[in-house]
Structure 1
Amino acid sequence: MNPSRRTLLSGLLGLPVLGATLAACGGGSGSGAAAGAATLKWASSYFPTHWDPVVGGSGAQFRHLSLVYASITRVNEKGEAQPDLAESWDYNDQGDQVTFHIRSGLTFSDGTPVDADAVKQAVDRARTQENSALFGDLTSIDKVTTEGDLDVVVHLTQVDYQIPLLFGERVLQVASPKAAADAAALDQQPVGHGPFVATQIIPGTKAVLEKNPDYWDAANIHIDKVELVAAPDASTVVSGLQTGVYNFADLAASQAKAAESAGLDVFVQPGYNASNLSLNVNRKPFDDPKVVEAVRHGLNRQEFVDKLTFGYGTPATQPFPEEYIAYDPQSADLWPYDVAKAKAALAQSRYSGDDLKVELVIPDEDPSAEIVQAQLAAIGITVTITIDKNWATPFFAKDLVASLYGTTGRDSPLQTLTAHFGPNGPLNLSTPYEPDGFEDAVAKVRQTPLEDAAYAENLQAATRAGLVSEALVFTYSQPSVYVKDPSISDIPANPGHVNWTGVKIT
């Protein structure tokens, strides 16, 4: 047997996933919404704008889409790839080809078989559909072929052992190919092989879903019905939970104390939620490294934490939480706040006066922008804040001088790094710039099997190489904050994910 083969048993009851546990108060495991059925009433500030997983792309909204879509793999709380639609996978000896073995006998909710061809079409669509938000994540793929009905062979352009992580919930939730033939219709009415089936979608407002009895792990789904609604306002979520309008919600940190005072369960999930100030080193004044150095030392990260996270956040120098495998301890104290150093660096730059006036473009009002404005004014850089509702277009076209961005991470830590620091990374405002040594460090990680003893060391070295980048400065991070009715049991920690396997309500 190939020593890199990774065989994973299907149907593991102990599969670690994030989720609350709800059991019917007398409801069975059927898919109907009869009286007494276990109903999850979820109020969310991130209600999906798209239901086509290829188009969505959002790090918050894929958590909702996972209600209706299964992915090829999933990731546990340690960041390890686990089975989902694929029950196992193995690489060839060269590491440039991986075969995923799809579970047998599965169907999408429209009756279409979940087979190798359906998975191949999902990957191809993510790579080629004109409005795909995922094509940039799949650049290691040369082509996808099938062997028989259940084996999907992914041929790579290079050695890349990250693929089982990459094919998790964030990138490869699989839609029915029959439904995806009309991508516009799929975007409004999702069809997948997830734990639930969408029965009603009111765009931007509400989704009603019922248990999918054909889901591969349906025996461990005890929720009969999900009512997902867009939270009208953060301040109304707590009262809605008190009165039973909702029993679960993602919560603004500013509302956490009020929820605790109301007797609700507030809990914190670790996450990859790191914010940064993005700079364009191809535009003045940030084409001068001394100006970038001044910004690095001129930002007081603790002020962001104190004023914005209500005690739940931490200062950030990198996109990973401290307990995560890709976190680099050597970069923990990168660019400490030092006004004197910042002013000295600025004095050595070739810019002054009007050349140190910067437009900071953001999509909505954001107190982070005002903190940046005040802190940079203190070292001699004048920041003008511009709100552009169409901000995404110039940001991803790399036409801005400066902006704010927040990541929610990827299932593949290397994908998180290349998205931020790679020459074509979507979060790199300075394309095609990349820091020296980053490309080699990334290649080394790709060539390291996930089970290799050197994997963590190589991954952290790639993080360290990326953080040399002058294109962004991390500011603060905060976990995901949720609130639930006390009848919902404790939720296991799994950074970035909200899955509902195994859940009961007492």
Structure 2
Amino acid sequence: MRSHRTARHRLAAAGFAVLFAATLTACGSSGASTGSTGPAALKWASSYFPTHWDPVVSGSGAQFRELALVYASLTRTDETGKAVPDLAASWEYNTAGDQVTFHLRPGLKFSDGEPVDAAAVKAAIERAKTQKNSALFGDLTSIKEVTATGLDVVVALSQVDHQIPQLLGQRVLQVASPKAAADPAKLDQNPIGAGPFTITQLVPGTKAVLKKNPDYWDAANIHIDTVELVSAPDSSTVVSGLQTGVYNFADIVPAQADAAKKAGLDVFVQPGFNAANISLNVNKAPFDNPKVVDAVRHAVNREEFVDKLSFGYGEATDQPFPEGYIAYDKQSKDKYPYDPEKARRLLAEAGVKAGDIKLDLVIPDAQPAAEIVQSQLAAVGITLNIKVDKNWSKPFFAKQLTLSLYGTTGRDSAVQTLTAHFGPNGPLNLSSPYEPEGFEAAVKKVRETPLEAPGYPEVLRAATRAGLESRALVFTYAAPNLIAKSKTISALPKNPAHIDWTGVTISGR
């Protein structure tokens, strides 16, 4: 039997621990620092305040970072992007690789007093797979059956899949109390989990007040007593709100970073899997012609996106992964370089004259990226009409649009990122059920390869390479998540795409 018995991961690096040793010395269960005069209060202004607090409905978009205040998961992600213990202390695969057993920590309970046991995890997985409005069922297709015995969760798989520990983390399996989840609509307004904090007040769409959960498994390393999470007002006022102390933590866009620094705030650059793309529907004209698709590929100047949109924090990319990440494929880099003359030549070979192609570019809100795409394609003879539709998501996910823009935050499992973009049922594949030739076989091989196997990185990159043969997406640029915070808040662990409060302190209150 192959084992993955992982000791509890300590997220704070040695330098981090030394830097904040003085403030931690006087920390009791309340997390108060030396010289503090009150509870450690986090005041977070968010531009993506959750519309849903039921993790099954909220899905795996950016809001999972806020729901993680309330909910814990089977696994979590460390600073290298690997799965480490959370509610599950350890896990192990059977020899065949088609079954994984998670061993839960003993003595845990949800904030309503219900036990965190295997039955609760089984209920969470099954609800995510079957609830009518679940946003997660597509991520759990490998799971055939879940068996619960005491604190052991046995997950039987429909295929060999060594990605499951990566998958069942904060993005896809935030575990709610089964008693509370029996009424999903009520859970949506009164979230009950086993995470580091519990909600004491919730004003839907506006404000959430939370307090430290003394029953959280790692409560000793949570040094924040209260959290006030509010929906950010107009972005132009966020920095001034941080300056005046209305907030002490806020997500910001690159255009605000310089002002935040000048205001004496820390700008935390959080690594992530963000990547913007142009989504094409190859099932509709004119993109059913490969030459037209290739023309679009060569018409895109990625550096213009970086120069105009990222304010020095982004980079050009033609992949859904950042360069240096294990799934990034160097062989595929710059396969379709910016070459407008070649784009015009390809259109001519396709029998298309300048002005023949006129399309709607449908997007959810006005955004500069749309104007850049419009300008770049106009330069090669393709005319775009930018159409803003606040209900854009319905036709996008129904695969009814011909052309759109999308930005992804990725997944902790690289395979899930790939299948979401390039798979026949991928939610981010506007051309479903189209998939590039060889992609399914390449992904199958990744699933069959243990993550610790020496050949795993190359097998994974081969799957990325196969996915990038897709004609349905043209990636443009990538940017990290940016957070402006008061200097009274200590450094955060740089876990890719996650906000982790382990070891974080607030001083000088």
TM-score by length of 2: 0.95
Specify the alignment match of 2:85 in structure 1: 83
What do the CA deviations read for 1:409-454 (whole angstroms, capped 9, x no partner)? 1010100000000000000000010001111110110000011001
Q: Deviations over 1:256-276 (max 9, x none)?
A: 111111111112111111000
- What amino acid maps onto 1:5 in structure 2? S
Partner of 1:393: 394
What SS does the aligned partner of 1:87 have?
A: strand
- Tell me the alpha carbon deviations over residues 393-417 of structure 1, each in whole angstroms, 9 at most, x when there is no partner: 0000000001000000101010000
The Cα offsets for residues 110-139 of structure 1, whole Å up to 9 and x where unpaired, read as: 001000000000000000000000000000
Could you tell me how far 1:355 is from its partner in structure 2? 4.8
- Please state whether the residue corresponding to 2:277 is helix, strand or coil: strand
Displacement, 1:30?
A: 3.8
Aligned match of 1:470: 471
Q: How does 1:32-431 map to 2 (within 5 A)?
A: 36-146=38-148, 148-352=149-353, 355-431=356-432
Residue 412 of structure 2 aligns to a residue in which SS?
A: coil
- CA positional deviation for 1:35: 6.6
Q: CA 1:25–1:404 in 2, change beyond 3 Å: closer, same or farther?
A: farther
Task: Provide Cα deviations, 1:188-223, integer angstroms capped at 9, x if missing partner.
Answer: 111000000011111111110000000000010010
- What is the CA-CA distance between 1:350 and the residue it aligns to? 3.9
CA contact (8 A) 2:31 2:40 kept: no
Pair 1:227–1:283, CA change in 2 (3 A): same
State the AA in 1 paired with 2:370.
A
| Structure 1 residues 25 and 230, CA gap change in structure 2 (3 angstroms) | farther
Map 1:461-500 onto structure 2 (within 5 A). 461-500=462-501
Structure 1 residues 243 and 24, CA gap change in structure 2 (3 angstroms): farther
Q: 1:312 to 1:14 in 2, by over 3 A?
A: closer
Superposed CA offset, 1:291-313 (max 9, x none): 00000000111111111111111
Contact 2:180 2:187 in 1 (8 A): yes
Distance 2:307 2:356 in 1: 31
Aligned mates of 1:160, 1:21 — CA distance in 2: 40
Once the two structures are TM-superposed, the CA of residue 492 in structure 1 deviates from its matched residue by 2.8
In structure 1, how many angstroms separate the alpha carbons of the residues matched to 2:310 and 2:371?
15
Flag the 1:8–1:345 CA change in 2: closer, same or farther, 3 A.
same
Structure 2 gap ranges (5+):
none
Deviation of 1:387 (Å): 0.8
Partner of 2:29: 29
CA contact (8 A) 2:491 2:504 kept: no
Query: What SS does structure 2 have at the residue aligned with 1:46?
Result: coil
**Unmatched segments (≥5 aa) in structure 1:** none
TM-score, normalised to structure 1, is 0.96
What is the CA–CA distance in structure 2 between the aligned matches of 1:94 and 1:25, rounded to whole Å?
A: 48
Please state whether the residue corresponding to 2:229 is helix, strand or coil: strand
Cα distance per residue 1:439-486 (max 9 Å; x no partner) = 111011000001100111110111111011000100111111111111
Q: Retained in 2: the 8 A contact 1:16–1:76? A: no
2:10 & 2:261 partners in 1: Cα distance?
32
State how 1:441-452 maps to structure 2 within 5 Å: 441-452=442-453
Secondary structure at 1:361's aligned position in 2? strand
Partner of 2:5: 7
Deviations 1:209-257 (Å, cap 9, x if unpaired)?
A: 0000000000100100001111101111111111111111111111111
Instruction: Report SS of the residue matched to 1:457.
Output: helix
Percent same amino acid among aligned pairs?
67
Relative to 1, partners in 2 of residues 1:190 and 1:35: Cα closer, same or farther, differing over 3 Å?
Answer: farther
Alignment size in residue pairs: 501
Deviations along 1:94-117, one digit per CA (max 9) or x if unpaired, are 100111111111000000100000
**Residues 311 and 328 of structure 1, relative CA distance in 2, 3 Å threshold:** same
Change (3 A) 1:107 1:16: farther
8 A Cα contact 1:31 1:225, kept in partner: no
Q: Displacement, 1:59?
A: 2.1
Following superposition, the deviation at residue 505 of structure 1 comes to 2.1
Query: Residue 454 of structure 2 aligns with which residue?
Result: 453
Q: CA deviation at 1:31?
A: 9.3
User: Is contact 1:268-1:479 (8 Å) kept?
Assistant: yes
User: 1:241 and 1:25, CA in 2 relative to 1: closer, same or farther beyond 3 A?
Assistant: farther
SS of the aligned residue for 1:187 comes to helix
Secondary structure in 1 matching 2:156 = strand
Verify the 8 A CA contact 2:57 2:133 in the aligned structure 1. Answer: yes
The letter for the 1-side match of 2:485 is K
Q: Which moved more, 1:345-354 or 1:225-234?
A: 345-354
Question: How far does residue 489 in structure 1 lie from its aligned partner after superposition?
Answer: 1.9
SS of alignment partner, residue 5 of structure 1 = strand
Distance in 2 separating the partners of 1:56 and 1:357: 36
Moved more, 482-491 or 97-106: 482-491
User: 1:495 offset after TM fit, Å?
Assistant: 1.3
SS of equivalent to 2:166: helix
* Larger RCO (alpha carbons 8 Å, 6+ apart): 1
The one-letter code of the counterpart of 1:7 is: R
1:215 alignment partner, SS class: coil
Return the letter of the residue paired with 2:288.
D
- What is the one-letter code of the residue matched to 1:126? A
Q: CA deviation at 1:499?
A: 1.2
Q: Which piece of structure 1 moves more, 467-476 or 50-59?
A: 50-59
